[in-house]
Amino acid sequence: MGHRLEGKTALITGGAGGIGQAIASLFADEGARVLLVDRDADALAAGVARLGRDRIATATCDIADEARVARLGDAIRAHGDALDILVNNAATREYHRLADADAASWQRILAVNVIGAGLVTALALPWLRRSGRGAVVNVASTFGICGRAGMGQYDVTKAAMVAATRVLAIEEARYGVRANAVCPGSVLTGFTLGRAAARGLSEAELKDRGFVPAPIARWGEPAEIAAPVLWLASDEASFITGAVLPVDGGVSASGTRVA
């Protein structure tokens, strides 16, 4: 337990997922009040029960729904009417090669990963500016800065998030708001385990398979993503804005690819 976010309020999207939960837990440990946002109300309730922190509130919201995002303002006002940190962590996936990507799948993924994150950011900015030390941390992906085959639409949206981070850093510097991105590699979460299970792989088999392309030859843990998110969100990173930080066990340095 520390005090690196004492007195701060954070909004985290995708708060019911593996990485969102790890960020929420660490932020609460460091003294932040946390507003966890997710479209999955049941998973959100289960997540908060698991975290068991009294400084964590929740709001159910599909960030692809503009009207629902606008109503998030009410949740922020009810949760102390302050916001110092926004973590754009919610994301959805599509599994097509670009040759097979149709308009509907493009629209589904862009609506959440690009437009949704953009709408939440725009909603949060008046509070972040008022904070005087506002910080946005975007959870992009190592595949927003490297290419691979098979999840191209997702990778395109993560590259867009990297670009949005840089633009936001430049536009908002005058208001004291910093914007940075972390780019996780392969991290063990409900999502990755679910994908493996669908292919008939257990967690142990997934860990043993050795296809993880990272020079640090293992899967990352959600807490290993949460730690750099905390640092970038905290005042320790007060001169860092527009940075794009790979947190991927060296994947983006190695040039090794997943086919």
Where do contacts with ligand NAD occur on this chain (CB under 6 A)? Answer: 13-14, 16-20, 38-40, 43, 61-64, 89-92, 112, 116, 139, 141, 184, 186-187, 189-192
Exactly one of 154, 183, 225, 246 is catalytic; name it.
154
Which amino acid would we find at residue 140?
A
Minimum distance from residue 17 beta carbon to ligand NAD (Å): 2
With CB atoms as reference, the residue minimizing the distance to ligand NAD is: 17
- CB nearer to ligand NAD: pick between 17 and 134: 17
Distance (Å, rounded) from C-alpha 9 to C-alpha 166? Answer: 23
CB of 184 to ligand NAD, least distance (A): 4
On whether the CB atoms of residues 139 and 182 are closer than 8 A, the answer is yes
Q: How far is CA 37 from CA 44, 73, 78, 132, 163, in A?
A: 8, 12, 14, 23, 23
Instruction: Tell me how far, at minimum, the Cβ of 182 lies from ligand NAD, in Å.
Output: 9
Adjacent-strand bridge partners of 135: 85, 178
Is 56 or 63 the residue whose CB approaches ligand NAD more closely? Answer: 63
Which CB sits closer to ligand NAD, 53 or 133? 53
Max CA distance (Å), the chain: 51
CB contact at 8 A, 248 and 187: no
Q: Is 154 a catalytic residue?
A: yes
Instruction: Compare residues 8 and 39 and give the one whose CB is closer to ligand NAD.
Output: 39
Q: How far apart are CA 157 and CA 112, in angstroms?
A: 9
Least distance from ligand NAD to the Cβ atom of residue 15, Å: 7
State whether residue 196 is helix, strand or coil: helix
Residue 143 DSSP class: G
**Residues taking part in catalysis:** 154
